[in-house]
Structures are given as structure tokens and as C-alpha cells.
Amino acid sequence: MAKQVTKKSKDSCIINAAVYQGNERLCSVNLDEAGEWAKKPDHIVWIGLYEPDEKILKKLQKQFNLNPLAIEDANQTHQRTKVEQYGDSLFIVARTLESQGKYIALHETHIFVGKGYVVTVRHGGSASYGPVRLRYESLVHPFKDNEQFITYSLLDFIVDNYIPVVERIHHDVEQLEDRITKGPFEAEDVEELHRLQRNLLRLRTAVAPMVEVCKRLEHGDLLPVPPDIQELFRDVTDHIRRVQDEIEVLREVLVFAFNTNMMLGQVAQGDITRKLAAWAAILAVPTAIAGIYGMNFQFMPETQWQYGYFAILAVMFTICTTLYLLFRKNDWL
Amino acid sequence: MAKQVTKKSKDSCIINAAVYQGNERLCSVNLDEAGEWAKKPDHIVWIGLYEPDEKILKKLQKQFNLNPLAIEDANQTHQRTKVEQYGDSLFIVARTLESQGKYIALHETHIFVGKGYVVTVRHGGSASYGPVRLRYESLVHPFKDNEQFITYSLLDFIVDNYIPVVERIHHDVEQLEDRITKGPFEAEDVEELHRLQRNLLRLRTAVAPMVEVCKRLEHGDLLPVPPDIQELFRDVTDHIRRVQDEIEVLREVLVFAFNTNMMLGQVAQGDITRKLAAWAAILAVPTAIAGIYGMNFQFMPETQWQYGYFAILAVMFTICTTLYLLFRKNDWL
Amino acid sequence: MAKQVTKKSKDSCIINAAVYQGNERLCSVNLDEAGEWAKKPDHIVWIGLYEPDEKILKKLQKQFNLNPLAIEDANQTHQRTKVEQYGDSLFIVARTLESQGKYIALHETHIFVGKGYVVTVRHGGSASYGPVRLRYESLVHPFKDNEQFITYSLLDFIVDNYIPVVERIHHDVEQLEDRITKGPFEAEDVEELHRLQRNLLRLRTAVAPMVEVCKRLEHGDLLPVPPDIQELFRDVTDHIRRVQDEIEVLREVLVFAFNTNMMLGQVAQGDITRKLAAWAAILAVPTAIAGIYGMNFQFMPETQWQYGYFAILAVMFTICTTLYLLFRKNDWL
Amino acid sequence: MAKQVTKKSKDSCIINAAVYQGNERLCSVNLDEAGEWAKKPDHIVWIGLYEPDEKILKKLQKQFNLNPLAIEDANQTHQRTKVEQYGDSLFIVARTLESQGKYIALHETHIFVGKGYVVTVRHGGSASYGPVRLRYESLVHPFKDNEQFITYSLLDFIVDNYIPVVERIHHDVEQLEDRITKGPFEAEDVEELHRLQRNLLRLRTAVAPMVEVCKRLEHGDLLPVPPDIQELFRDVTDHIRRVQDEIEVLREVLVFAFNTNMMLGQVAQGDITRKLAAWAAILAVPTAIAGIYGMNFQFMPETQWQYGYFAILAVMFTICTTLYLLFRKNDWL
Amino acid sequence: MAKQVTKKSKDSCIINAAVYQGNERLCSVNLDEAGEWAKKPDHIVWIGLYEPDEKILKKLQKQFNLNPLAIEDANQTHQRTKVEQYGDSLFIVARTLESQGKYIALHETHIFVGKGYVVTVRHGGSASYGPVRLRYESLVHPFKDNEQFITYSLLDFIVDNYIPVVERIHHDVEQLEDRITKGPFEAEDVEELHRLQRNLLRLRTAVAPMVEVCKRLEHGDLLPVPPDIQELFRDVTDHIRRVQDEIEVLREVLVFAFNTNMMLGQVAQGDITRKLAAWAAILAVPTAIAGIYGMNFQFMPETQWQYGYFAILAVMFTICTTLYLLFRKNDWL
């Protein structure tokens, strides 16, 4: 509760805000001076926000001269995964994943990138970008004094976080597949299949448009990208496409599982019907015979015989046994 | 009734017709002078019609020099969602949605846009564009003295009206999904699934071509669009594509629901068949035995025994119980 | 019979052949002079043929210098819907529709267009183009002295004739949809669904390539088209695409109907199996009890009791009623 | 046997090899001189081979300076249908069809075309190109002194040979469709459907890439083609696309047949289950009543009545008849 | 065990490393001098590695100035099949196949190609490229002094190794198809179908992106390729597309098999239900009659008749036989 109150208090949504020269952290920065710092050559302002209120966003807009439409989008979730260019700045919307029990939850991160600044806006359970910042501060890398390198690091982090989720689904799908050879699915297997299909669909919703985003960044469709950064973006594209390929394969595997199970169900239904029929036939014989000798006719010669009863028992037994063997031979039993 | 008569009376189909300079409303305007007003620099004539008769449309055509083919289209409903360029004017057909009980009804709005004028022609239950006009008149916005801004406002309004409809379907689909885990569908669930599929199809019919329309307006394929308006159209494109993505996801979710239900139905059918078979087997035993001892043979030693009856009852009970336990163990019961 | 003989007699396949200056009919024309008339500036020869024999086609070829491959095609039916350019003339193949009882029949019209002439060749039940000619002769229209305007009029007529066919199918599909809520389909509903699928497929065969034909004419890919005619062709494209969209929607509606019905069938099968099982269980009780008391053991105490019979009847009744009520509660009955 | 020996003997695989000037056959030609003849202006060497051994192919390669990769391909079957350019020569692989009983067999023809020569290499049951040669030698045609005209004639011949095969399948598909209205399929109908699907798939394998081959030849992507030959290739493209369209329609018709049959099967299954249930119910009544009066209670008043037996028979009969009529009314019987 | 230790020992992962001038092997080469050798004109260093450790890869990177991202990829498996250009070098990832019992395992080979060097990095069960090296050393071929020729040879080898795997699946699919005509599938046939679908999916995963890789190499999108090498790459493209076509056909054949089997299962289910119903009806007759004459009414005239018993047996027999014959006639039995 207290936490939620804190979250709403002024600036509590600012997770981190600092100026960097190269990858060296100069100082923390106040939102109201961020624009000026960003304009200094070779300086980069990197601000991390978590579910900011409108006031903060308005400040940001003023500092970096952001487009009001982008700011409006950043204030809402349920945006499409996309990258859009507004003047000389980019607005990126990326989906992040979180395993919630058996289902996958989708969250969002919005990124503003422009000359001299990077702003991340996290919503919901998006993982913190603290590790990205730490790595940035600690690594020595030729192109680190570049807002596009930070953008790359963020997207790389987001995409890398997809992989354990996909791997878990992969694992669950394989378990379901192993289940196939053990006869038709029970209700809980069917529900598991449904759950996996839903998760894969949700995953695909997040991943598929991300390929487009990465490709556009890689090819410098929007802003010119130096070749070495281009190679980095290509690497992210490659990772995300690997995830996408995996999703498509898993989706198809589930379709196979569905079809195979429908067929096995049909086979099982056929087996059981045949078995039922066979036993019904076997049992019908003594019933019919017993019925006949249960009739109350006064003159029924067999009933007078000394061993009629045993004879008829023998006849019943013989016919039933013969039928049983015949059905066995025909694989009905 | 009276209303319908009114509707047919002269000019009753003109909902609003005014001249604007910037976003300031100068005066109402008569159709016969509309053309002249439109030609004055920085003046915009904005006319709102509702199911106009041919005479009105002919007047319009004359005033704004509209293409007769577009006028012919505007006089009929069941047009395709589209944008078409005739000379230096645009003719846009957009679908509007209305929830009618459990189903979605599609209506139409036709928009004529040219230098200095915007004409909207509503058909059926299309929502009034009064709110758009009010917002236009009240807002201060750098590009408001532009017929393309009004076009944007209209399309934005239309697309925003799609969202509650999609959300309602989304909600219904989720309810149906929750239903899945409660065993195979009843007939009314199946009908609900069918209804949702139909509504999504109808929705897609309205939405899918709208993406194309917005994109063409955004990219200025037809008329040159200033960059700031372009960004606004891009925003509409983004909204409509979000709706489209949602529709595709919901369609797929329904397919999953269908498949899952078919499988659950098969599972349930198998369960019931097995249960049926088990009980038939259990009951067949006393029937067969009773049949045998119901035969009228004169010499049936067991029937003479003092406790034969009780013995045989015990045998029956033992066999039935054993069978019952066996079936339980095999999960048939 | 006589008619057929006539049809084969010389020139009986020439339905109409006339020279026009503007839209004024100058005179009828003999095939042997058609070429000369066509060469006069502002004159157009318009010839309408019905299943012509090879001799007539050869004459045509000579008069208008047509391509032998096109002539060969025009002599056969079962051409693909297409437009092809041979030198400076066009050869168009269009499909026409005819409702024959419950099914749709496809026919063909071939059109040759070149500078100064239009030749239509009808096959099978293609509707006569008399109305098109009448309208051409009666209308005052700025671009009527143009062979491309006639081409447009012909295609417009053909496409307009698709609409009632689609509407009839639309009506039948809706009736089938209403049928869904009344429980699983009977055999005749299934056959109706099949008939509609077949008709839609046939319709699509005719319509789909027509979109391409109209588009190519609209964009002047083949011959240069003046802008005002271009708009007319665009209008035809628009109509044909509306028909196409409708076909796709109807096809999908039938798929939904199929799936919904499969599910309803499964539900109904489950219901009936449960009902069957319940009644079997209820009836098994008196049968089993009666069987037991039908045994011929000498010592069966209950049978000696004064009211044993009535007691046992009461027991039977009680068990059956209890079972019945239980099954009701579980919705099996 | 003898034939096979002959086939393996030297040059027995050379079916025909001749030099033409225009379409006039000058003389037969020896492989070792073929190259020289081909170089003479206006002379064309046309060689027809049937499953040649490697030695012959090596000779060919040397004479016409063919590419070793193409020669390697020509020595093997199971090539993809394709056209490839090696320097200034083309290598075409086309599939030919042969009806073998109920199935379609695919064979291959490889064609080498270059300045002054055409070489055909037939494999398996490909039809002889004798008729093409005969027509070439007999016809008077403006462009006959052209190796591309011969290529056209060969492809035209190959494609024309597809048509009877497609027509036969069309006929079989229609027969299967007529079968639909006669109730659910028997096993042999299902197998027929499967056979047709397989044949259509095989056909499509042969036809689909052929469209690409013809289009590339038509558009002169590979070697420059004079306009009149281009029109001829376009004609072949048109034929092959007609075949392709037909295949796609037939494939879809089979899908409809499959679905319709699944539904009819479900309907039939429902009918029979209902019928079964109804008869079971009707028969259960006398069984239950007879069971009750078959019990051996000492005091069962009805059994003492004079006409108890007849009364009970009447009761049985009445109940059974009533049930029967009720089931009839409900359409269960 | 010993082998594994060896594998981990220094340089044990270097399978072969040699310098070639033309196709003549000059000498083995140490990794630390490889870069210098590669720079000498007309010399090519060809290094074959098997699951190298990071140290080796770092050395390689230094020698040939490779991109660190590519090196990172080469150190991991589960890369996407791809070709990527880093400066003037290429990095190729190709999948290799291995039959493991009934399933196909995918392995990987990574290839670095640049001016003067080719490095192959095998992972898992990828076949050794020894044969490619041997053929290279023994063949006389005009373009052998070219790193692209070696690239071609490697890809050709990889693709050729796909063919036996596809052929084995082809064989298994055909066997499954033959199985169809022998009635509905048993559970093991269903599992076989599932196994084949899974293998084909895995195969497609490997093959489909390979087409793209080969095409890009063929068209010289990345590095300029001399025309004669281009023809060689085209040949590989052709092979891989043949494999791909085969996979698509086999996938569709399995779909047909699935559908056919579902239908046959339905037919069989219908048959058995009808048969069951028929026998139930036949057996119900004697049961009902016997039940009636088993009742204990005191006055049942038939039971007093001398030959009542035999008469009733005759009646039973007649009715049963008649029913049997009727069912036979209706094809229920």
C-alpha cells in the first residue's frame, strides 16, 4: 500500500537519471536541466521512468522537444509494438514478457531516443533496466558514446528476456508431445494444449512486430546508423527472428499434437465400440438360450432329460468360448 | 412516423453547414453559396448531411464540382471502405459500427474533401459528427485551418468508436474461454462462439480496408499532406492497426476454443462410452446368472440346495463388486 | 430445331453491326466493309456476334487485322478471364453468370477492341448486349465517341449482372445461418451448404481474375486511357471488388456454419448418448430384480411372503424413480 | 528384350537428328558434325534423344559447347521443372504426364536450345515429339526458321498433353460429387477421393513451376525473343495457367466433398443412434413387463386372473405402439 | 572417454589446417601464421575445426580480423541458418542432418569465408568435411584457386547429405500411404504419421532458410561472385529447392493421409454401429418372445399345446432369419 502511495508521490517514478560522457557517469540530473545537458556535445542523458504521471511526461516533452502524440502514447499502455520517427527523434514501443503462474503476461516499455538522450518508460511488470545501465557503465566499447548503442543495449536486453520464456514453453510442448504416445488425451492434457496455444499466441503478438522494429533500426530507415551499430542491431534482429522461428515451429507442433490426438481418439473410440460389441454378442448367447428354456411350455422335451441342464450349460459355454476366441482372432478383444 | 416525414422534407437532411475561418465559425451557410465560400482563401465550408436525397447531392456536385461517379456512390450504401481521388478532391467511404443487441451493425459515412470544403454524408446509424465539430470549434491547434485536419478528426472519431465494440467482443471471448475448462460446450456456448465469429468477421470487413485508407492518407499518396498532419494520420493508422491486430488475435483465440472444445467433446464421449460399457458389463452378470437359474429344467441340482438361492446371490454380488472395483482401477468408472 | 439450323446459316450469328459517329448510328455495316469504316476518323464500328463460325471470325481478322491466336481463342470457350494486348488492339475474355435452377452456370464473352472498332463475341447463355447499345445510342456523354467508353459500358454491364446472383446466394447463406440455431443440420441442410460452397467457388472463378482485368484497363497498362475513362474503369473495378469482398465473406460464413454445425452435432451426439445411458440404467434395475426372482430355486424366502410381490414392485419403482430424478438433476435427462 | 538391347546399342538413343533450312529438312545429321551445321546461318539442327548414355551427352556438349552442369542434369531424372540460362544457351526441364491405370505418372523432357540448335532429351514415358517435327516440316509459318519457334512448339505440345489428363480427373471429381447426395461415403469412395487428391497434387507439382518457365520465356528474361514468338509463348502461358486454375478449383472441390461427407457422416451417425435408441426403448417395455410376470412369487394376483395373460399382452402392445408412434412423430424413426 | 579428453586438449579441435596454392596442398599451417599465409596472393588457408573452445576462436578472430559478433555466434549452437556479411568476409550458418533412430537430429556448421581463407566450425554430429577436402585436392578444375569454390563445395556437400534423409522419409510416407487402403489406422500408424510430420517439420526448419542463403550467394548480393562460380551456386540452389519441393509435397501427402483416415474411421464407426444395431435387433426377438412365454400366468393357452414349444421355436427362427436377410440386403450386415 505504502509503496503505491510512494509511486504516486512526485518524481518517485524517476528510477534513474544521469548524464554520461562516453560511458563515464558524470552526475545525476534533474529533469528540468536534462535538455541542456543533452545538447552538450558527446554528452548523453539517460533517464529511466516507471509509470510516470502526465506532469513528468510534459516536462520531458519540453526538455527534449518530443512530439505530443508520442507523449500521449507513452502515457497509455496497450500500444502496438512499433518504432516511429518524429522529426529527428525515435519513439519505440516494445513488449516485455513475464511468466505469471501458467500464463504469460505482456508488459510494455516505451523508449524515446534523440540526439543526446535516451528515455525509457516502463509499464507494469517490465523488468528494470538497471543491469543494462550497469553493463554500460562498466564496459569499454568503441561506440559507447552513442545513444543508439544504448538503444541497442535496451532492445538486446528485452529480446534476451524472451528466451527463457520460449524455452519454458518449448519444454512444456515437448512434455505434451511425449504424452501423445500414451493414448488419447485426458481433459487436463487438452487444457494444457490450449494453455500452450494461448501462450504462444500471446508471445507471437509480442515478438512478431519486434522483428520489423529491429529491421528498421538495423537498416537505418529512420535515422542514419553507423555501420558498427548496424551490425549490433542485426544481431538483435537475428535473435528475435530465432525466437520467432521457434514460436512458429512450436505452434505447428501443437497442431500436429491436436491432429494426432483427434486420430488417436477416433482409434480408441473404434476399439472400445468393437470391444463393447464383442462382449454384448458373447453375453447375448446364454441370455437367449436361458430365455428359451425359461419358457413355461408344458411340453419341452429337453427339460425332461436327466442331464439337459448340464448339456445346455455346456452348449452355452462352448458357444461363448468360441465367440470369444473368434473375436480375439479378429482383434476385437 | 412524423420523423420520417420530416427526414424527407426539403433540406431536413442537412444537419449542419457552416463556414470557418481558422477554427472560428463565421456563419451558417446555404448550399447554393457553399462553393463560393469555399473558394475564399483560408475559409473552410464544413457540411454535415444525413441520408441526403439526390437533389441535395446534385447541388453539392455543382457547388464543389464533384465527380458524378462519387455522387452516385454517396447516394447508395454498401460501398466498399475506400479513398479515391477525383481530380483535386478526395472521396472517402468509411464504415461505422453500432451494437444492435448481440450483433454488430455496419453503417457508412461518405466524406468529400477538397480545397476549402469538407462534406460528410452519414447513412443508417452512423453516430453524429457533432462532437467532432464541437472539438474543432473549441480547440486551439496550429493546423486547424486545414480541411485535412478536419478529415483527420473525422477518421479519428470513427476509429475511436471501434474500440468499445472490440473491447466488448474481447470481454465476451474471454468469458467463453473461461467456459472451456468447465467441460464440453453446451449448445448455447456453441451459438455464442458462432455469434462472436460472425461479429469479428463483420468487424474485420469494416476495419481491414480502413488500414489501407489511413495509410494512403498518411503517406500523401493522393493529395500532398503537410508533415504535421501526416503525423496525425499516422496516429489514426496506428489506432486502426491496433484494432486490426486485436481482431486477428480474437479470431485465432476462437479457433483455439473451437479445437479445444472438439477435443474435450471427444474426451467426454470416450469417458461416457467407457462408463456405459462398464455398467453394462456389471449388470450383465446377474442377468446372465438369473437367466440360467430361471430355466425350467427338471433336474438342476443347485436349485434343490437349501441355501442355493443365497449362495447364488452371494456369487452375483461378489462378481459385480469385483468388476466394479476393476473398472474403478482402470479409470472406466 | 429450326432455330439451330438458322444459327448455322450464313451471318445468322451477327446480332448487330453498325457504324457510329459520336453516339449517332450512321448505318448498319457489312462485315466486308467494317475495316474501312473503322479507319475513318471519329467513326466506330460496333459488331455483336453470337457463337460465330470460323468463316466469320476469319473475315473479322482480315478486316481489323486481328491476331490469329486471339481469333483462335474466340472460337473456343473455356478461356481464362483475361485481357491481352496484341499490337494496338485488346482481346478481353469475361465470364458471365446465369442462374440455372439451384446452380450457377458460367458463360463467356470475348471482346476485341482497337482503334475504331469494338467486336463482342458471346458464347452460351451470356446475356445480350442490346441494352448496352441502346443506352449508348440514347445517352449524351462527353466521351462517347470512344471505343474505350464502349468497352467500359460492356464490362460495367457484365459486372452489374453479377450482383443479383451474389445477392441471391447471400440470401440463401443467411437462411442457412438462421437454420444453425435450430440444432444440428439434417442431410438436406448439408447439401444446401455444399451447393452454396460450390456456387461461391464458381462465382469466384469468374470474378477474381476480373479484378485484375479491370485494374489493368483502369491503369492504362495496355493502351493509353484518357483520365475520364480511367475513372469509369475505376468504378467498374470498385464494383467487381465489392462483389469479390462479398464472396470472401460468404465463403467464410459457410466455414463458420460448417464448424458450428460440427460442434452442435458433437453436442447432440453427447446428449443422446447420455440420455440413452440414463434410460438403459433405469430399465436395467427392474430387469435385474425380475431376473433374480424369476430363478427357480426351491427355497427363496421372499417369494413365500404374502406381499413379497408388491414389496418388490415397490422397490423397483422406488429405485427407478430415484435414478430418474438423479439423472434429471445431472442434466442427463 | 531385344528392344532393350537395341536401346543400349550405340546411338540407338538418337531418335532423330536433322538439319533444317527454314522448315525444309536438308538431311539427317551425324552428332559429330552437328556443331558445324548449327553455326551455318539460317540452319537449325534439331536432335531428338531418348535416355541417352553419357557418351552421347558428352559429344553433344562438345558440339554445342553446352554447360557441364546442364549435361549432368540431363543425365538424371527427378530434376525440377525449370529454365536456366548458361551463357547464350537455355536448358529447359519440363514434366510430362502419363495416365497409368488410376494414377498419373510424371516423366521428364530436357531441352537444350541455342543459336542454331534444339536438342530434346526424353526420359521415361514422355510422348515422342515426332508429331511436333512433322507439323514443323509441313507448316508454312513466318517465323519457322527460328530455334525459339521450335521451343514454343515443344512446350505447346507438352502443355496440350496435360489437358486430357486434367479433363479425366475433372470427370472423376464430378462423379464423386454426384455421389455426395447419396449419403455418406463408403470406404471405396473415400479411397477414390484420396486417389484424386494425390493425382491433383502430382499434377500440380508438374504444372505449377511450368507457369514460371513459360512466363520467363514469354517475357524474354533470358534470351531476347522477337514479339511474334513472344505472343506464342504467351499463348502457352495462358494454356498452362488455365490448367493450373482448373487444378486449384478441383482441389477445393475435393475439400468441399471431404467436409460435406464428414458432416453427412455425422448426420448419419446421429440418425442411427437415435433409431437404435428408439428401438431399444420400444423393446425394453415387453422385456421389463415379461420379466416382472416371470417372477416366482407365490402371490401375484394378476397371474390368477382368467384373462391376465391377454390383458398383459394388450398392455405391452399398446405401450410399444404408442412409443413407436411418438418416436415417428419426433423423427427418431 | 579418452576421446573426449583428447577433444578438450589444446588444439585437438583443429581437424585440419593447410595452405593451398591452386588446389595443391603446400603445407599444414599453424593457427598463429594462418593470417599471413592468407594474405599471400593465390594462397588459400583452409581450416577445419570441431567444437573449438573460445581460445581458438579468439586466435582465429585475430588472424583473419573476424567480427566479434560472428565469433560469438560460432561459439554457440542453435543459430539460425543464415549468411551474413561482416566487412569483406562472410559468416554462414548451415544445418546438417543426422538420422538418429526414427528421428532426425539437426546439427550445425559455421563457415567463415574471406579473401584467402575458409574456416569451417562443426558442431554436434555434423559429418566431417574430409571428403570435400580430398575432392578439392584431387580435382582439376579451372576455378579451384578460389575461396568461393571451396564455399560452394562445402554447401554442395551439406545439401547432398540432405537427400538420403528426405528419401528415407519419402519411403516411409509411401509405406504409410499404402497402409490407408487397409482400413482405418491403428494407434501405431497414427504415431508413425506423427513422427513423419515432426521429422518433416524439423527438416523444413533446416532446409527452408538454406534456399535463401544459396540464392544470396548465387546472386552475389554479398560479395562479387565470378559467373562460373555463380552457376555452381545456382546448381546448389537448384538442389536445395528440389529438396524443399519434396518436403512440401510430403507434408501435403500426410495431410491427405490424415483426412482420408479420419473419413475411413468415420465410415468404420458407421459400419460397426449399423452391424451392432442389426445384431441387437435380431437377438431382441427371441429374448422378447421367450420373456413373454416365461411369464407365470395360469392361463396361457399356447403353453398347453402339444407342439407349442416347437411352434414358438419355429416362429423365433423364422423372424430372426428374415431380419438377418433384410439386414444383409440393406448392407447393414
Domain assignment of residue E262, yes or no: no
What is the ipTM score, two decimals? 0.86
**pLDDT range class, residue A143, cuts 50, 70, 90:** low
Are A203 and A169 in contact by the 8 Å Cβ rule? The answer is yes
What angle, rounded to 10 degrees, do the helices at D187-218 and E227-293 form? 160
E185-202, pLDDT tens digit by residue? 999 999 999 999 999 999
Q: Which chains does chain C touch, 3 or more C-beta pairs < 8 A?
A: B, D
Q: Do E309 and A300 touch (CB under 8 A)?
A: yes
CATH number (domain holding residue A32): 3.30.460.20
Quick one: which of B98, B97, B73, B126 has its CA closest to B207?
B97
Chains B & C: contacts with CB separation below 8 Å? 125
Quick one: which of E268, B319, D271 has its CA closest to A332?
E268
Least confident of C188-202, D74-88, E9-23, E62-76: E9-23
Q: Which chains does chain B touch, 3 or more C-beta pairs < 8 A?
A: A, C
Quick one: which of C333, E282, E260, A159 has its CA closest to D187?
E260
Q: Which residues contact A39 (CB under 8 A, 6 or more apart)?
A: A116
Q: Which residues contact D107 (CB under 8 A, 6 or more apart)?
A: D77, D95, D96, D97, D98, D122, D123, D124, D125, D126
Q: Which residues contact E214 (CB under 8 A, 6 or more apart)?
A: E155, E159, E233, E236, E237, E240
D114-167, pLDDT tens digit by residue? 989 999 999 987 788 999 998 888 876 656 557 889 999 999 999 999 999 999
The alpha-carbon gap from C139 to the nearest alpha carbon of chain B, in Å, equals: 15
* Percentage, residues of chain A above pLDDT 70: 95
Q: State CA B272 to chain mean position distance.
A: 37
- Whole-number Cα distances in Å, A111 to A50, A82, B234: 12, 10, 18
Q: What are phi and psi of D16, to 5 degrees?
A: -165, 140
Q: Which of E66, E182, E190, E254 to mutate to test the interface with A (most CBs of A within 10 A)?
A: E190
C-alpha span between D272 and D326 (Å, rounded):
17
The alpha-carbon gap from D268 to the nearest alpha carbon of chain E, in Å, equals: 8
State which of E117, E137, E157 marks the end of a domain. Answer: E137
| The predicted structure's pLDDT at residue A45 | 93
Given a cut of 80, whether residue B4 has pLDDT beyond it is no
Query: Residue E158 corresponds to which cell in the numbers above?
Result: 551439406
Q: Do A260 and E191 touch (CB under 8 A)?
A: yes
If you measure CA to CA, which chain E residue comes closest to A274? E272
C-alpha span between C278 and B276 (Å, rounded):
9
Residue numbers in A near E293 (CB within 8 A): 295-297
Looking at the DSSP bridge assignments, the partners of residue B21 are: B24, B43
D96-113, pLDDT tens digit by residue? 998 888 889 999 999 999
C-alpha span between A118 and A63 (Å, rounded):
12
- Give C13-56 as a DSSP string: TEEEEEEEETTEEEEE--HHHHHHHHHSTTEEEEEEEES--HHH
D45-57, pLDDT tens digit by residue? 999 999 998 889 9
For β-strands A14-21 and A43-50, DSSP reports them as antiparallel
Quick one: which of B258, D270, D329, D185 has its CA closest to C185?
D270
| The predicted structure's pLDDT at residue A181 | 83
Q: Which chains does chain D touch, 3 or more C-beta pairs < 8 A?
A: C, E
Given a cut of 60, whether residue C265 has pLDDT beyond it is yes
Query: Residue D272 corresponds to which cell in the numbers above?
Result: 442411427
- Give B250-295 as a DSSP string: HHHHHHHHHHHHHHHHHHHHHHHHHHHHHHHHHHHHHHHHHHHHTS
| The predicted structure's pLDDT at residue A145 | 58
Q: Output B9 or D197, whichever has higher pLDDT.
A: D197
B156-183, pLDDT tens digit by residue? 999 999 999 999 999 999 999 999 888 8
Residue A126 burial (10 A CB sphere; 0-12, 13-18, 19+):
buried
Residue C2 burial (10 A CB sphere; 0-12, 13-18, 19+):
exposed
Are D17 and D46 in contact by the 8 Å Cβ rule? The answer is yes
User: With the C-alpha atoms ordered B144, A74, A215, A100, is the resulting torsion angle positive or negative?
Assistant: negative
State which of D95, D119, D137 marks the end of a domain. Answer: D137
Give me the helices (H) in D161-305, please.
Answer: 162-180, 187-218, 227-293, 301-304
C-alpha span between E22 and E40 (Å, rounded):
12
In order along its 333 residues, chain D shows pLDDT tens digits of 333 333 444 457 888 999 998 778 899 998 888 999 999 988 899 999 999 988 899 999 999 999 888 888 888 888 889 999 888 889 999 999 988 888 899 999 999 999 899 999 999 877 889 999 988 888 766 565 578 899 999 999 999 999 999 999 999 999 999 998 888 899 999 999 999 999 999 999 989 999 999 999 988 777 778 888 888 899 999 999 999 999 999 999 999 999 999 999 989 988 888 888 888 888 888 888 899 999 988 888 888 888 889 999 999 999 999 999 999 998 888
Are E112 and E64 in contact by the 8 Å Cβ rule? The answer is yes
Given a cut of 70, whether residue A234 has pLDDT beyond it is yes
Quick one: which of B330, B180, B326 has its CA closest to B261?
B180
| The predicted structure's pLDDT at residue E128 | 87
Measured CA angle at A24 (ends A21, A27), to 5 deg: 80
**Which residue numbers of D have CB closer than 8 Å to C's CBs?**
177, 180-181, 183, 231-232, 234-235, 238, 241-242, 245, 249, 252-253, 256, 259-260, 262-264, 266-270, 273-274, 276-277, 280-281, 284, 287-288, 291-292, 294-300
Query: Residue E236 corresponds to which cell in the numbers above?
Result: 546448389
Given a cut of 60, whether residue E48 has pLDDT beyond it is yes
Domain assignment of residue B156, yes or no: no
Q: What is the 3-state secondary structure (H, E, C) of chain A?
A: CHHHHHHHCCCCCEEEEEEEECCEEEEECCHHHHHHHHHCCCEEEEEEEECCCHHHHHHHHHHHCCCHHHHHHHCCCCCCCEEEEECCEEEEEEEEEEEECCEEEEEEEEEEEECCEEEEEEECCCCCCHHHHHHHHHCCCCCCCCHHHHHHHHHHHHHHHHHHHHHHHHHHHHHHHHHHCCCCCCHHHHHHHHHHHHHHHHHHHHHHHHHHHHHHHHCCCCCCCCHHHHHHHHHHHHHHHHHHHHHHHHHHHHHHHHHHHHHHHHHHHHHHHHHHHHHHHHHHHHHHHHHHHCCCCCCCHHHHCCCHHHHHHHHHHHHHHHHHHHHHHCCCC
Given a cut of 70, whether residue B1 has pLDDT beyond it is no
Helix (H/G/I), strand (E/B), else coil: D309: helix
Q: State CA B222 to chain mean position distance.
A: 30
Quick one: which of C275, C231, C253, C239 has its CA closest to C170?
C253
Quote the DSSP letter at residue C77: S
| The predicted structure's pLDDT at residue E24 | 84
- Whole-number Cα distances in Å, B137 to A213, B134, B237: 38, 5, 24
Residue numbers in D near C283 (CB within 8 A): 284, 288
Q: Which of E180, E238, E288 faces D80 most closely, judged by CB atoms?
A: E238
Q: What are phi and psi of C124, to 5 degrees?
A: 60, -145
Given a cut of 80, whether residue A262 has pLDDT beyond it is yes
Domain assignment of residue B266, yes or no: no
Q: Do C280 and B276 touch (CB under 8 A)?
A: yes
Given a cut of 90, whether residue E113 has pLDDT beyond it is yes
**Which residue numbers of A have CB closer than 8 Å to E's CBs?**
177, 180-181, 183, 231-232, 234-235, 238, 241-242, 245, 249, 252-253, 256, 259-260, 262-264, 266-270, 273-274, 276-277, 280-281, 284, 287-288, 291-292, 294-300
Query: Residue A123 corresponds to which cell in the numbers above?
Result: 509499464
- Whole-number Cα distances in Å, B164 to B98, B170, D273: 10, 10, 46
Query: Residue A130 corresponds to which cell in the numbers above?
Result: 538497471
State which of B69, B104, B137 marks the end of a domain. Answer: B137
Domain assignment of residue A316, yes or no: yes
- Cell 596454392 maps to which residue? E21
Q: Do C292 and B286 touch (CB under 8 A)?
A: yes
Q: Output A156 or C5, whichever has higher pLDDT.
A: A156
If you measure CA to CA, which chain A residue comes closest to E206? A245
Domain assignment of residue D218, yes or no: no
Centre a 10 Å sphere on the Cβ of residue D245 and count the other Cβ atoms it contains: 15
Quick one: which of D202, D210, D139, D157 has its CA closest to D48?
D157
Residue numbers in E near A140 (CB within 8 A): none
| The predicted structure's pLDDT at residue D5 | 36
Average pLDDT of span C184-194: 92
C-alpha span between D220 and D229 (Å, rounded):
10
Long-range pairs for E178-181: beta carbons < 8 A, 24 or more residues apart: E180/D191, E180/D194, E180/E257, E180/E260, E180/E261, E180/E264, E181/D191
Domain assignment of residue E162, yes or no: no
| The predicted structure's pLDDT at residue D9 | 42
Domain assignment of residue E148, yes or no: no
Q: What are phi and psi of B224, to 5 degrees?
A: -60, 135
Q: Which residues contact C158 (CB under 8 A, 6 or more apart)?
A: C94, C96, C109
Residue numbers in D near C293 (CB within 8 A): 295-297
User: With the C-alpha atoms ordered A324, A328, A331, A333, is the resulting torsion angle positive or negative?
Assistant: positive
Q: How many domains, in total, are found in chain C?
A: 2
Domain that holds residue D285: 273-329
C-alpha span between C314 and C308 (Å, rounded):
10
Domain assignment of residue B126, yes or no: yes
Helix (H/G/I), strand (E/B), else coil: B167: helix
| Dihedral angle of Cα B156, B161, B165, B168, to the nearest 10 degrees | 100
C134-160, pLDDT tens digit by residue? 888 887 665 655 788 999 999 999 999
CATH number (domain holding residue E315): 1.20.58.340
**pLDDT range class, residue C166, cuts 50, 70, 90:** very high
Quick one: which of B117, B106, B101 has its CA closest to B45?
B117
C-alpha span between E109 and E112 (Å, rounded):
10
Query: What's chain D's Rg over C-alpha atoms?
Result: 35
Q: Do E269 and A274 touch (CB under 8 A)?
A: no
Residue numbers in B near C270 (CB within 8 A): 184, 265, 268-269, 272
Are C296 and B301 in contact by the 8 Å Cβ rule? The answer is no
pTM for the model stands at 0.89
Q: Which chains does chain E touch, 3 or more C-beta pairs < 8 A?
A: A, D
C-alpha span between C234 and C242 (Å, rounded):
12
Looking at the DSSP bridge assignments, the partners of residue B108 are: B95, B123
**pLDDT range class, residue A139, cuts 50, 70, 90:** confident
| The predicted structure's pLDDT at residue C7 | 40
Look over chain E and give the mean of its residue pLDDT values, rounded to a whole number.
Answer: 88
